[in-house]
Amino acid sequence: MEKLILADGTEIEVQAGARLQAVVTMVEDYIGLAALAGDLTEKNLSSVKFVENDTINAEYKNLIMTLPNFYVTQKPDCLEITFRLREITKEEEQQEDVQTALTYLTDEQALTVKDLHEEWVPNKDYKTGDRKLYNEVLYKCLQDHTAQAEWNPENAPSLWAKILIPDPEVIPEWEQPDSTNGYSAGDKVTHNGKTWESLVDNNVWEPGVVGTESLWREVMAEEA
């Protein structure tokens, strides 16, 4: 048998002669298939080797799986699993570089290049602080999780917080934020016919209410 050795050292026995277009391995059952899927992560596919008798037959960098991920054939005492891999294209590498660069921006800066962010999709792992687009609105991830269709950013406030100034060139109507996505210092909003500027970060208070004089200031027309 040949071995597929992943970036973290995990070894997967595969049929001899395996190549990217058809990698065949055996697992005992669907629990084994789940374990296999857990090993074939983007990080682990960043560096792989096909090794037979301590000889490297092929070596690749920056691979991804092609869809559908797995072809399953029931055998008498196991499951035969076939999957396909391919190298990341130059365009995909450039997009990854863009997404990496976006992580260094503040929320306010990210909003100025909102459309460069990737769309939220289900069945993907997200990390705290990730920013994704959903229905043309930018959201920030609040806790690590694997996305499910019913947990989209609009419907899962415990997982995602809307970044409240969707267009830095337009002063939006104030909306009540959650404790996780208050307005930042310098954010401007309109409320009850007036324009207000937040004086503090994580501002969740309503503008113009008695007691919020240190949190909001009214912006005159010539400043708006």
- The string of pLDDT tens digits covering residues 147-171 is 988 999 988 888 998 888 767 678 8
- Confidence (pLDDT) at 92: 86
- The string of pLDDT tens digits covering residues 88-104 is 988 888 888 898 899 99
What is the SS3 string spanning 92-147? HHHHHHHHHHHCCCCHHHHHHCHHHCCECCCCCEECCCCEEEECCEEEEECCCEEC
For each of the domains in the chain, give its residue range(s) and CATH number, in order of start. Answer: 2-88 (no CATH), 106-159 (2.10.10.20), 164-224 (2.10.10.20)
Write down the residue that tokens 């959650």 correspond to: 178
**Positions in the chain whose pLDDT score sits under 50:** none
Q: Which residues pair with 125 in a beta bridge?
A: 146
- Confidence (pLDDT) at 162: 86
- Confidence (pLDDT) at 25: 95
Q: Are strands 145-146 and 63-65 parallel, antiparallel or unpaired?
A: unpaired
* This prediction's pTM: 0.56
CB 63 within 8 Å of CB 20:
yes
- Give every CB contact of residue 8 below 8 A, 6+ residues apart in sequence: 43, 44
- Confidence (pLDDT) at 224: 62
Instruction: Measure the CA angle with vertex 119, ends 107 and 157; round to 5°.
Output: 60
Distance (Å, whole) CA 50 – CA 12: 10
- Confidence (pLDDT) at 185: 86
Give the tokens for residue 19: 């190549």
- Confidence (pLDDT) at 106: 84
Give the tokens for residue 49: 């080797």
